[in-house]
Structure 1
């Protein structure tokens, strides 16, 4: 626009980075799903899922969201309700409003001061949190390793 009248071509910034394994999926609070889901990227559940979820990236269960079933994911942040078995291969974050019932296995876990945990909880550190778990004949994940039973009143748990 200004200058010597010759336009200098703008350099392209190149391709935009994308989610590691796919896009971002959202299940809104007015949606209920019965069945299993496989997500290649991040997924946020603000509605209700009654079924199993395999997520190659991050799972977020919003404050009004709930999952009843088994979950296997890379990272997870729970603000709402979860019931079942969850395997988190990296970091599980339980916010103050989280309500978790069942088996929890994660490499690392951060626990908010108001969350509730009722079930078995195992933090594995550098070990694969899925080790010691097998699918039963009905398809649900069952622990074959010994677990510690914890109820949290909000104490922070670090691996």
Structure 2
């Protein structure tokens, strides 16, 4: 796991494939592939954020895309559009922007063509929806 510590300011985009915790300031976008992102209460990101699982306790000024889970804690402040397949949002969190709850990418489930689903594919999709609490 990598950490942008409190008191540190990073200017520019961050790309990676390892979990990241932001306690300081990032003035640029954060793109993590197959990794999780945590923005602590003291953390601030000014740019787009993309990761597998994202937990926000600090502030984000930009669009947020979480592949599997987006969690906004009570101290979260987000100004931008949210896109995720599962959202957990504390009552005291603040969010200004659009929200898209998306179905999983067919590749995630090993389904190649949604138009020609087999019974096994339907079962995989049902299990995924139940696991992610999607009606």
TM-score in terms of structure 1 length: 0.64
8 Å Cα contact 1:108-1:125 kept in structure 2: no
CA-CA distance at 1:39 after TM superposition: 1.8
Which runs of 5 or more residues in structure 2 are unaligned?
107-132
2:17 aligned residue (29, 33, 40): 40
Larger C-alpha radius of gyration, 1 or 2?
1
CA-CA distance at 1:126 after TM superposition: 2.8
Cα-Cα RMSD: 1.4
Residues 87-116 of structure 1: CA distance to partner in whole angstroms, max 9, x if unpaired? 110000000000010111011100011100
2:61 aligned residue (76, 83, 90): 83
TM-score in terms of structure 2 length: 0.75
8 Å Cα contact 1:77-1:93 kept in structure 2: yes
8 Å Cα contact 1:37-1:53 kept in structure 2: yes
Which consecutive segments of 4 or more residues in structure 1 shift more than 3 A?
A: none
Show the counterpart of 1:112.
Answer: 90
Which runs of 5 or more residues in structure 1 are unaligned?
1-23, 129-157
Which whole-Å CA distance do the structure 2 matches of 1:71 and 1:100 have between them? 11
- Structure 2 SS opposite 1:100: strand
Q: For this pair of structures, how many residues does the alignment match?
A: 107
